[in-house]
Structure 1
Amino acid sequence: MTLDAPALPPDDRPPVIEFRDVGLTYPGTPPVEALKPCRLTVTAGSFLTVVGPSGSGKSTFLNILGLLDAPSTGTYLLDGIDTGALKDTELTALRGRRLGFVFQAFHLLPHRSALENVALAMLYNGVPRKERDGRALAALERVGLGDRAHAVPTTLSGGERQRVAVARALVARPSVLLCDEPTGNLDTANARSVMALLRELHEDGMTIVVITHDPEVAAQGGRTLAIRDGVLEETPPAVPLRTGARS
């Protein structure tokens, strides 16, 4: 199946993600074709949402995108780099430089401040120690939490904790922000607040991929894919809901 992006705009934005007949089959009796071979092009600055029921292949798709699982067929290019040609150490380095992750469960260290949680993301990325706090504070300010830099996660609201998680994902200046159910643990107001932040980041040029089961969240993207039984399909664009206050 081919899911190529529309014709490039006049600025000729380059592809950040390219799947060339990428698929993943888990061995077994019988084998499980978790993601059927597909073609996909995502250009820089895109906002892509991906929907599908439980067991549809969303996690497999995200794991391939995040360089956590290697496809069993096809070629995955990230920023033009053939990921299948890299050693494990090279994949780890590429993941740290080019990909930022935001998870449903936040995954923040409870006894570390927001600043420390964000700064720790740079520990293995080669960022000099003297630069980490400054970059971490700048990332927190970017998500509207500069005044909460020294607060620990247990004193933050759910929306604030997810903003810290977004700051942590941004601090390494990745090419792509991968968000796995980023609003799954939030109430409606905080969910809309986090999505408003993601839209702001997209408007600033960030390439964003959001995996979600929520139709309202899916409608925020400029482009939506659906996965069912391992098959990736393009869906008609939806009108995004742009209401809700920040938290």
Structure 2
Amino acid sequence: MTYEPATPVIEFRQVGLTYPGPPPVAALKPCDLTVRRGEFVTVVGPSGSGKSTFLNIVGLLDSPTGGRYLLDGLDTSILKDAERTALRGRRIGFVFQSFHLLPHRSAQENVELALVYNGSPHRTRRANAREALERVGLGHRAAAVPTRLSGGERQRVAIARALVARPALLLCDEPTGNLDTANARSVLSLLDELHAGGMTVLVITHDADVARRGSRTVAIRDGVLREQLAGIPAGGPEAL
């Protein structure tokens, strides 16, 4: 399937999710959102605001109970579970606060694992993993195991793993949450570089400094999603 450049990567049309009760809980109230190719969007909000629900819907981990979610123009609401899983593997790269690296596998092997289940030949997996590590500046550390890497290097390996399948969207959940200031700055600079290179980046964060890196910011509070037009308040996302 080909994707038109003008097609939004993410398009929410009155998407919402209500967990059944009693009583029912509207974790994400019906909302519209468009993220176009090449944007860097940050999503902020206090704990319990609905950020995790939003993340799970965007990442095709949960299905909305209302509305339509189009990913690269494809209506995900009509897909079966296996189709959703396959689409997620092809079109979305995930980066989490915890790196989720296998400790006894090298950096290259950890990146290769992202390609194991999509049928890529072994030789192709090796070449693509090395290319992804070079892209995040870690080609020289391909043979190192995670315990021999700094926190920032481990997160870069995780980002390489997310990029190796050439996704349409890089979806990051608190990507600097486990990093010290220097390593966080390094990872954020990498995200800036990826965005400058045309990658669509969406970052879920509670950190006001991280949120300001985005070209757009979306705020969620009490399950209500809205554009944050005036920037992040001085008190950070908790002040929204």
Taking structure 2 as the reference length, what is the TM-score of the superposition? 0.93
2:13 corresponds to which letter in structure 1? R
Give the superposition deviation at 1:238.
4.2
Aligned to 1:87: 80
Correspondence list, 1:211-226, <5 A:
211-226=204-219
Aligned to 1:114: 107
Deviations along 1:168-220, whole A, 9 cap, x unmatched?
A: 00000000000000000001111111010001000000000000000000000
Whether the 8 Å contact between 2:5 and 2:37 is mirrored in structure 1 is no
1:209 and 1:24 map into 2 onto residues whose CA distance is 20
SS of residue matched to 1:64: helix
2:66 counterpart of 1:66: no
1:35 and 1:86 map into 2 onto residues whose CA distance is 21
Give the superposition deviation at 1:128.
1.4
Q: Which runs of 5+ in 2 are unaligned?
A: 233-240
Aligned to 2:26: 33
1:91 corresponds to which letter in structure 2? R
- Which structure 1 residue ranges, 4+ long, deviate > 3 Å from structure 2? none
SS of residue matched to 1:167: helix
Q: Which runs of 5+ in 1 are unaligned?
A: 1-10, 240-247
Paired residue total: 229
Give the superposition deviation at 1:129.
1.5
1:25 and 1:12 map into 2 onto residues whose CA distance is 33
Give the superposition deviation at 1:233.
1.1
2:6 and 2:206 map into 1 onto residues whose CA distance is 29
Taking structure 1 as the reference length, what is the TM-score of the superposition? 0.91
Give the superposition deviation at 1:12.
6.7
Whether the 8 Å contact between 1:222 and 1:237 is mirrored in structure 2 is no
Q: Over the residues paired in the alignment, what is the CA RMSD in angstroms?
A: 1.3
Aligned to 2:184: 191
2:230 and 2:195 map into 1 onto residues whose CA distance is 17
1:71 and 1:143 map into 2 onto residues whose CA distance is 34
Whether the 8 Å contact between 1:224 and 1:237 is mirrored in structure 2 is no
More helix by share: 2
